[in-house]
Structure 1
Amino acid sequence: MNQRLPVALDLRGRRVLLVGAGQVAARKVGALIEAGAQVEVVAPSLDSHLENLLAEGSLVAHRRPFTPEDLAGAWLVYALTDSPDLNARVAELCDERGIWYLVGGASQESPLWSLAHRRQGDELVAVSGGGNPRRALALLNRIAGVLGWD
């Protein structure tokens, strides 16, 4: 049984760290920036979309491997590397420090899930697919269609 509580986070001015800078990070970053988060990325290299956002000044990036010191001041952390071991290490360090985190590709191991969401003016619809992002997106699209948000 899934015992998760859905919430909406106010990220304005809060430091959100992305460990990893590939396609998954590129998909997540837009919503974080739109929410007003101070987005910081640490990874040896950046996806081209992240490079563009860096050039625009929309985020801060450190082109190097992750170190535990990167967590200092983070309010929320996304572990999005292609290394399960590194993602697990980031999660462990976040747990020790009381920092909220999400592990990409391992939602059952994360204390927090991102919900598929869509805004229409002041209205917000968010859907969980039980840890399955494809199912969440399919549900969201069906709901948006019923609401006439196409």
Structure 2
Amino acid sequence: MSAPNDHEPGSPAYLAGLLLRNRDVLVVGAGHVAERRLRRLLEVGASVRVVAPEATKAIAALDEEGLVAWRARPFVDDDLDGAWYVIAATDSAEVNAAVASGAEARHTFCVRSDEAFGGSAWTPATYNVQDLTVAVIGNRDPQRSKAVREAIRQSLGDGS
């Protein structure tokens, strides 16, 4: 994907709500970034597979509880088979690039945590209030997206 013109307003991303309940989602990497992404994937009912040689204690516990299926080994291209959505969240740019490339070949959307334009999807800054999920996605500035999300949260309060 080529970078957008920096002078265009808004984000170059097309926002859509993915319905991932009971759909296969692959997370490659099992560090703190993956851990943060897993929370929301589990909230929406995704069937999550994690592939990584090592995992945080929290991800290992999710595997032990049967909430995710962790495969304690390096990523292989066949891991992508059947996935509706993929997150490449390793500390290796080479592995993340291979994940994104394999996902692209399968026409599967992929978030690349280390290089936004290296994937085909971005993760917005979100929070839930009553029956709404508020999402903010910017143009390569995740800290600004988080700040705007927090400003919206403060203006809405808890929604009661």
Relative to the length of structure 2, the TM-score reads 0.89
User: In 1, Cα distance between the equivalents of 2:56 and 2:73?
Assistant: 14
Q: Which runs of 4+ in 1 moved over 6 A?
A: none
Identity of aligned residues (%): 37
Residue 45 of structure 2 is aligned to residue 36 of structure 1: yes
Who is 2:103 aligned against? Answer: 94
Where in structure 2 are there 5+ consecutive unaligned residues?
1-7
Within 5 A, what are the aligned runs for 1:1-150?
A: 1=8, 2-149=11-158
Tell me the CA shift for residue 37 of structure 1: 0.3
Where in structure 1 are there 5+ consecutive unaligned residues?
none
Tell me the CA shift for residue 52 of structure 1: 1.5
Q: State which drifts further: 126-135 or 49-58.
A: 126-135
User: In 1, Cα distance between the equivalents of 2:68 and 2:39?
Assistant: 10
**Larger RCO (CA under 8 A, 6+ residues apart):** 2
Structure 1 residues 82-117: Cα deviation after superposition (integer angstroms, max 9, x where no partner): 110111111111111111101012112222111111
Give the partner amino acid of 1:53: L
Aligned residues: 150
Tell me the CA shift for residue 138 of structure 1: 1.1
